[in-house]
Amino acid sequence: MNTMKKMLRVLAVEDSEDDFELIRNELAEGGFTVVHERVETATSLKTALEGEPWDVVICDHNLPAMNSISALKIVRAAAENLPFIVVSGLIPDETAIEAMRYGARDFIRKDNLSRLTPVVERELQQAATRADLEATQLRLQRVSHFDSLTGLPNSEHLFVHLRSMTLSTGQERPFAIFLIDLNRFRKITKTLGVLAGDKVLLEAAKRLRMALGEEDFIARLGADRFVAVVPHLEQEAQAGEVSIAIHQYLDEVFQVDGQELFVKASVGASFYPKDGLEWGDLFKNAESALYGAKADGGSSFRAYKAEMDSFGKERLILETALYHALEKKQFILHYQPQFDLSSGRIIGAEALVRWQHPEMGMIPPGEFIPLLEETGLIVPVGEWVLRTACAQNKQWQDAGLAPIRMAVNLSAMQFRKPGLSCAIREILRETGLYPEYLELEITENIAMHAEEMVIAILDELRDIGIQIAIDDFGTGYSSLSYLKRFPIDKLKIDQSFVRDCKGGLNDGGIVMAIIGMGRSLKLKVIAEGVETLMQADFLKLNGCDEVQGYFYGKPMEGGELARLLGCDVRKCGVDAPW
Ligand code: C2E
Ligand code: MG
Ligand code: MG
């Protein structure tokens, strides 16, 4: 015979010691080692429920201080799943039905105790099944409502939360939604990989928890976007304080795999009920504010304003149209001539892209290049620009025009996508243009980030004879140390400094300094944005090599530049100091 007995922890709600002794014997005979506590009042029942973890409650129906139904209510409030069995004398049917409604599992008459053991066993089994089910449900709920990486609530959960906030609070209880976007996240995953990106997200989630209060609801919406719902906030000033806390935490350097990373965040906020009564509107408006903050760049914050709507809509329309612009052949190139200051000859042209939209007209690059960059479309469009500019230059040469160098602008994103130098070599091969007639304009910021990778690409390009110019020089980091390390040929002085050359005694200091810097590093120097004779004189006097600007020629269609190339510029009506 199996002597191993099962331990059974019984909470007995029973006023008769003798009756419980009978119950206990019955259970012992059924193979249980009974540990029990006997209670008679509501208070002692509550205390007992707080203490031990019980396997079963066995309850008499009629007690001096309460009956089985009131006991059941107390038990259900404390332990939903705990088996509750009434062992009693005769009770009326209505009482039995009511007890069942509250979750009593079975009735056993005191004169029929032989049923007790099988009922307890069945109940223990069912309670275990219910517990398993609950655990599974909980796990499923976690999966469907929480982000598996950060453990934060996910979008599903957020929308349920927002819906309940907007439905239940009533308009007298305001709150704010903050949308938080990590600015440099894409760049980090691109250069350091997805795992490093995950570490940044985990750390960002942790920091957001620290930045925000316990009452605040924080969710991750996927990618690098987080949301915080902060109750009792109704004004921009208060929201500004929250965003300062968020920025303080997220702007701190991140340490990932021994690397120091600066992430920075853009934050947009909208307020309930001021900016919308429905959670969908609030969310959309917070998104508009976020776009506004992103446009400001760096770590910035914007609260929603009604006028942002039109900005968001315009942007959406522009973005959609931009997706089709390349296939619909809506991009065109204009060419702006570049002149040698001592000879006065055209020695180059800069290709500048324009978007000719059938309804919106000619859109300047300042309005769509940032969008192309954000959407990644700059890569195919940039390739189109390169191919078209090289083909155009070759065509002029084939037509017998004096050969010039074609300058093409490159975006940072084109450097990030592998294969840039291959693509350029392929374009040169396809079009038949010699590499010395191609010049690439990059900005200082491209040169400063991911230095080694950029240097390697530039080395490859320069090895085959392509020229490299630093565009908008002077507006970025302008550090001498990188100028020495980077394989470059030319500095292009930014137009803002050229504009300063007004002929006054202290004007043009920066321009002179850049020309001197170029000379000592043996780099050519070109000035862009030359608009007046005075500026042209100043540049010539100070030894600038080349010029480009409205004074000499605006960006123009290919045919027009060809005409200019075909004649002697000095006779083309440009009254310049050569
Ligand atoms: P950028 O490369 O610095 O080009 C010079 C800009 O100054 C051009 O504006 C040109 O039209 C303008 N400009 C030239 N001379 C003068 C002048 O005398 N006075 C004034 N006020 N402006 C002058 P645009 O064509 O609007 O291009 C703006 C920027 O867009 C360019 O600046 C460049 O960064 C970017 N961009 C243009 N085309 C491309 C392209 O194909 N690829 C990339 N990645 N960027 C491009
Ligand atoms: Mg340029
Ligand atoms: Mg420039």
Residue 399 lies in a domain: yes
| 420 in the same domain as 341 | yes
263, 282, 304 - which closes a domain: 304
CA distance 14 to 58: 8
Residue 365 lies in a domain: yes
Q: Distance, CA 335 to ligand 1 centroid (Å)? A: 10
Name the nearest CA neighbour of 70 among 48, 47, 98: 98
Task: Tell me the sheet residues that pair with 442.
Answer: 470
Residue 577 lies in a domain: no
Ligand 1, atom 25: nearest CA belongs to which residue? 352
273, 304, 335 - which closes a domain: 304
Task: Tell me the sheet residues that pair with 132.
Answer: none
Residue 285 lies in a domain: yes
Q: Distance, CA 260 to ligand 3 centroid (Å)? A: 31
Q: Distance, CA 496 to ligand 3 centroid (Å)? A: 10
Identify the pLDDT of residue 475.
74
Identify the pLDDT of residue 140.
67
Q: Distance, CA 470 to ligand 3 centroid (Å)? A: 9
Q: Distance, CA 334 to ligand 1 centroid (Å)? A: 10
Q: Give the single-character DSSP code of 111.
A: G
| 345 in the same domain as 319 | yes
| 338 in the same domain as 270 | no
Above 70 in pLDDT, residue 185? yes
Above 60 in pLDDT, residue 519? yes
| 556 in the same domain as 469 | yes
Pocket around ligand 1 at a 6 A CB cut-off: 336, 352-353, 364-366, 369, 382, 385, 409-411, 441, 471-472, 495, 528-531, 549-550, 555
Above 70 in pLDDT, residue 170? no
| 332 in the same domain as 285 | no
Name the nearest CA neighbour of 453 among 485, 416, 498: 416
Identify the pLDDT of residue 567.
63
Average pLDDT over residues 121-125: 91
| 261 in the same domain as 126 | no
Residue 310 lies in a domain: no
| 184 in the same domain as 131 | no
For the stretch 80-111, pLDDT in tens is 889 999 998 877 888 878 888 877 878 888 88
Predicted confidence band at 571 (pLDDT cuts at 50, 70, 90)? very low
CATH number reported for the structural domain that contains residue 221 in this entry: 3.30.70.270
Predicted confidence band at 568 (pLDDT cuts at 50, 70, 90)? very low
The ligand minimizing its distance to the Cα of 365 is 1
Q: Is 447 helix (H, G, I), strand (E, B) or coil?
A: helix
Name the nearest CA neighbour of 336 among 532, 496, 490, 549: 549
For the stretch 213-254, pLDDT in tens is 988 999 998 888 999 999 988 777 888 889 999 999 998 889
Higher pLDDT: 568 or 169? It is 169
Q: Which of 19-23, 204-208, 357-361, 478-482 has the lowest mean pLDDT?
A: 478-482
CA distance 325 to 432: 27
Predicted confidence band at 132 (pLDDT cuts at 50, 70, 90)? confident
Ligand 1, atom 4: nearest CA belongs to which residue? 352
CATH number reported for the structural domain that contains residue 14 in this entry: 3.40.50.2300
Query: Of 322, 409, 414, which is best to mutate to test ligand 1, by the most ligand atoms within 8 angstroms of its C-beta?
Result: 409
| 168 in the same domain as 85 | no
CA 396-398-404 angle, 5° bins: 45
For the stretch 136-152, pLDDT in tens is 777 766 677 888 889 99
Residue 484 lies in a domain: yes
Q: Give residues with Cβ within 8 angstroms of 403, minimum separation 6.
A: 396, 397, 437
Identify the pLDDT of residue 477.
61
Output the six-digit token pair for 283: 């969310």
Which residues lie at CB < 5 A from ion ligand 3?
A: 471-472
- How many CA atoms lie less than 13 Å away from 453 in the CB half-sphere? 16
| 275 in the same domain as 180 | yes
Above 90 in pLDDT, residue 440? yes
253, 281, 304 - which closes a domain: 304
| 448 in the same domain as 403 | yes
Report CA-CA distances (Å) from 302 to 266, 312, 353.
Answer: 8, 14, 32
| 491 in the same domain as 348 | yes
Output the six-digit token pair for 174: 């305001």
Q: Judge residue 39's burial from the number of C-beta atoms within 10 Å of its C-beta, 0-12 exposed, 13-18 middle, 19 or more buried.
A: buried
Residue 150 lies in a domain: no
Q: Give the single-character DSSP code of 102.
A: T
Predicted confidence band at 312 (pLDDT cuts at 50, 70, 90)? low
Q: Distance, CA 442 to ligand 1 centroid (Å)? A: 12
Above 90 in pLDDT, residue 384? yes
Predicted confidence band at 169 (pLDDT cuts at 50, 70, 90)? low
Identify the pLDDT of residue 171.
55
Residue type, 529: G
Predicted confidence band at 22 (pLDDT cuts at 50, 70, 90)? very high
Residue 58 lies in a domain: yes
3-state secondary structure 171-187: CCCCEEEEEEEECCHHH
Output the six-digit token pair for 527: 């000035």
Identify the pLDDT of residue 134.
78
Q: Chain-wide mean pLDDT for the chain?
A: 87
CATH number reported for the structural domain that contains residue 560 in this entry: 3.20.20.450
Average pLDDT over residues 301-307: 86
Give the structural domain span for 65.
6-143
| 128 in the same domain as 164 | no
Number of domains present in the structure of the chain: 3
Question: In ligand 1, which atom is closest to the CA atom of 530?
Answer: 18
Q: Is 229 helix (H, G, I), strand (E, B) or coil?
A: strand
Average pLDDT over residues 374-387: 90
Identify the pLDDT of residue 572.
40
The ligand minimizing its distance to the Cα of 472 is 3
CA 72-75-79 angle, 5° bins: 140
